[in-house]
């Protein structure tokens, strides 16, 4: 029997009630390396860019408290250093670990070099290299523009002519809520709020054009993860079987993919890597049984309608005197089967 795994880039999102926050702190990363979790690619023609962490002089985000404080400090920043002069060449560094629907992203950027172009921007709600939104600033052209790419074709750009000094740090912000998109440069909404229904969610990425050498730092995304169906399934199953001590679903997640916890009765555990038991349950189709002092666990495959393992479910129950592997499996079996009835494919777990 084939074993199919669930590949996740983590959850898609909806507009927050309580926001989470992800900061990209390049100061903690190794110089001259690609930051972890990112993938270098490109849109249009040419080859992927040369993205790496380097050091540069960066002014503080907040005004210094003392006139004697340093005006700039040496910090690690993200740089795109390739200088491919191809006109329709757009290097993108995609963050592969999460997808975002409604969010606010802020970053600082600096255009450093380029003969053909001097651009820096953010691509967002990325579906793939041929489908995404982008907002970018050009020092060479003195423009601030938004456009979308659909099936590799760019829309007519929207935005004003405005001076964007080369060699100076600027702030770029993108806010998405439903089909509403706001783009700000240095705190000013220079482009009127846009309405577009092409992409409701997707990944984010740093973006440049042609031979632009551009730096980025102080990047932050504020968002609230959507509750994926796997978590809904766990919560409703625990409500139906209130005596369960724990219930967990494991599937392949992230880039590179690892078997991870994607849903749990204890939501704080989500994202943790699996143990060997879960790997063996999916790879070999076996059932695992474990017993603690006052509890027992059964790990079983969660199968689709074709009978293929799409995830592993760990059922944690209170044990009793005379507890055996056989009766533990008998207790866990209807719980897992009831979960399977509500699923037809692995994709449904993350919808």
Segment 99-154, tens digit of pLDDT: 898 999 999 999 999 999 999 999 999 999 999 999 999 999 999 999 999 999 99
Q: Residue 2: pLDDT above 50?
A: no
- Chain-centre distance for alpha carbon 123: 13
Q: What is the per-residue pLDDT for 4? A: 33
Task: Give Cα 261 to chain centroid, integer Å.
Answer: 16
Q: Determine the average pLDDT of the residues in 89-95.
A: 96
CA dist 60 to 64, 112, 117, 204, 234, Å?
7, 19, 27, 25, 45
**38-84 pLDDT tens trace:** 999 999 999 999 999 999 999 988 666 566 666 778 999 999 999 99
For residue 255, name the pLDDT band (cuts at 50, 70, 90). Answer: low
List of domains in the chain: 20-223 (2.60.120.560), 229-350 (3.30.450.40)
pLDDT score, position 9: 32
Question: Pairing relation of β-strands 295-303 and 309-318?
Answer: antiparallel
Residues in Cβ contact with 310 at an 8 Å cutoff, skipping those fewer than 6 apart: 4, 5, 6, 251, 302, 303, 304, 343, 345, 346, 349
- Cβ count near 92 (within 10 Å): 28
Tokens of 290: 């474990």
- Residue 15 pLDDT > 50: no
197-213 mean pLDDT:
95
Q: What is the pTM of this model?
A: 0.65
Q: Which residues contact 284 (CB under 8 A, 6 or more apart)?
A: none
User: What is the overall mean pLDDT for the chain?
Assistant: 89
- What tokens appear for 101 in the block? 């629907």
With a pLDDT cut of 90, the percent of the chain lying above it is 71
Q: Is the pLDDT of residue 16 over 70?
A: no
Give Cβ neighbours of residue 275 (< 8 Å, ≥ 6 apart). Answer: none
- Give the model's pLDDT for residue 18: 54
At 10, the pLDDT band (50, 70, 90 cuts) reads very low
């Amino acid at each position: 029997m084939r074993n199919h795994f669930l590949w996740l880039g983590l959850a898609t999102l909806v507009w927050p009630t309580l926001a989470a926050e992800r900061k990209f702190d390049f100061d903690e990363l190794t110089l001259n390396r690609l930051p972890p979790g990112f993938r270098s690619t490109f849109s249009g023609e040419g080859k992927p860019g040369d993205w790496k962490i380097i050091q540069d002089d960066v002014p503080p985000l907040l005004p210094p408290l003392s006139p004697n404080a340093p005006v700039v400090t040496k910090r690690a920043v993200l740089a795109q250093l390739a200088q491919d002069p191809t006109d329709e060449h757009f290097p993108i560094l995609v963050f592969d670990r999460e997808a975002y629907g409604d969010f606010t992203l802020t970053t600082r950027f600096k255009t450093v070099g380029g003969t053909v172009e001097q651009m820096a921007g953010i691509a967002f709600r990325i579906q793939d290299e041929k489908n995404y939104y982008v907002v970018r600033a050009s020092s060479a052209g003195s423009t601030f523009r938004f456009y979308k790419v659909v099936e590799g074709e760019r829309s007519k750009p929207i935005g004003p002519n405005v001076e964007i000094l080369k060699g100076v740090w600027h702030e770029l912000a993108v806010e998405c809520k439903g089909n509403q998109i706001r783009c700000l440069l240095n705190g000013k909404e220079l482009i009127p709020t846009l309405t577009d229904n092409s992409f409701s969610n997707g990944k984010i990425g740093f973006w440049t054009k042609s031979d632009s050498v551009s730096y980025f730092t102080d990047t932050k995304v504020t968002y609230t993860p959507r509750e994926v169906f796997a978590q809904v399934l766990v919560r409703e199953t625990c409500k139906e079987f209130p005596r369960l001590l724990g219930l967990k679903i494991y599937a392949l997640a992230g880039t590179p993919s690892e078997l991870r916890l994607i849903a749990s009765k204890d939501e704080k555990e989500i994202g943790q890597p699996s143990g060997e038991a879960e790997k063996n349950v999916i790879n070999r189709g076996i059932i695992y049984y474990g017993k603690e002092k006052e509890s027992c666990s059964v790990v079983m495959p969660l199968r689709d309608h074709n009978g293929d393992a799409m995830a592993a479910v760990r059922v944690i129950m209170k044990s009793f005197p005379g507890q055996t592997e056989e009766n533990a499996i008998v207790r866990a079996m209807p719980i897992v089967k009831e979960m399977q009835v509500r699923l037809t494919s692995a994709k449904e777990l993350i919808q």
